[in-house]
Amino acid sequence: RKEVEQDPGPFNVPEGATVAFNCTYSNSASQSFFWYRQDCRKEPKLLMSVYSSGNEDGRFTAQLNRASQYISLLIRDSKLSDSATYLCVVNPSYDKVIFGPGTSLSVIP
Amino acid sequence: DAGVIQSPRHEVTEMGQEVTLRCKPISGHDYLFWYRQTMMRGLELLIYFNNNVPIDDSGMPEDRFSAKMPNASFSTLKIQPSEPRDSAVYFCASSYRDKRYNEQFFGPGTRLTVL
């Protein structure tokens, strides 16, 4: 089993739709979690951290379920500019960072 | 502020040649990471440094790959000899250790093609 798994997609959704991505991780001792965004032919950039209590940043909501070892990202009111690959990132230990394979999102006019 | 700087941005070389990729991390960051990204394998961590010292090189594919960080503002990733399967985008990232989180800042990447 891979340390971090994501549904690769692609997710093709119309503008204004709500879309959710899930990510599962294998190491129950993992300490911190993030979502990164990567545009086509660009570098990954931090989208948001994921906190135990869940957190929201505008149209984006991140949730963590430690018991089931998954994190999620919800995007409401999708915009064309949300089209990108979303990478789940897990810290199994402080100095170790594991990137998931990414989920591709295309928002269609 | 200047972000992470990588050079060259594109490199095309022939099999067997030596390739050197360069990275300048963000000033003040004490961690530096080298990644490789391909369609098949996604983003793979090759090696990372803390305060210029290599901490984990378990992701380096084989002896043809080597990385150095002679000072806090410069690192190189060398492939010698290069092979077509080394074709990928190589990213350098840096971060500053913070007890809350350690966001990584990525450079624009070097797109390597080995013919």
Q: A31-79: per-residue pLDDT in tens? A: 889 999 999 999 999 999 898 888 999 999 999 999 999 999 999 999 9
A8: pLDDT strictly greater than 90: no
Distances B105 to A45, B30, B37, B86 between C-alpha atoms, Å = 7, 12, 16, 23
User: What integer pLDDT is reported at residue A81 of this predicted model?
Assistant: 97
Of A43, A46, A99, the CB nearest to B42: A99
Task: Give the other-Cβ count within 10 Å of A14's Cβ.
Answer: 9
Task: Please report where in the chains the tokens 């928002």 appear, as a residue.
Answer: A107
Interface of B with A in 15-74 (CB under 8 A): 31, 33, 35, 42-43, 45, 48, 50, 55-56
| C-alpha gyration radius of chain B | 14
Distances A4 to A39, A54, A100 between C-alpha atoms, Å = 20, 19, 5
What's the mean pLDDT when you consider all of chain B? 93
Say which residues have a Cβ less than 8 Å from residue A96's Cβ, sequence separation at least 6. Answer: B56
Phi, psi of A82 (to 5 degrees): -80, -10
Phi, psi of A69 (to 5 degrees): 60, 50
User: What residues in A contact B106, CB-CB < 8 Å?
Assistant: 43-45
Largest distance between two CA atoms of chain A: 41
Q: Is the dihedral of CA B110, B78, B40, B4 positive or negative?
A: negative
User: What integer pLDDT is reported at residue B22 of this predicted model?
Assistant: 98
Tokens of B61: 């594919």
Tell me whether strands A11-14 and A103-108 are parallel, antiparallel or unpaired.
parallel
B96: pLDDT strictly greater than 70: yes
B108: pLDDT strictly greater than 80: yes
Tokens of B28: 């003040």
Question: Taking residues B47-75, what's their average pLDDT?
Answer: 94
Cβ-based interface (< 8 Å): residues of A facing B: 32, 34, 42-46, 49, 87, 91, 94-102
A4: pLDDT strictly greater than 80: yes
User: What integer pLDDT is reported at residue B41 of this predicted model?
Assistant: 87
A22: pLDDT strictly greater than 60: yes
At A92, the pLDDT band (50, 70, 90 cuts) reads confident
Cβ–Cβ under 8 Å, residues A99 and A76: no
At B115, the pLDDT band (50, 70, 90 cuts) reads very high
User: What integer pLDDT is reported at residue B103 of this predicted model?
Assistant: 83
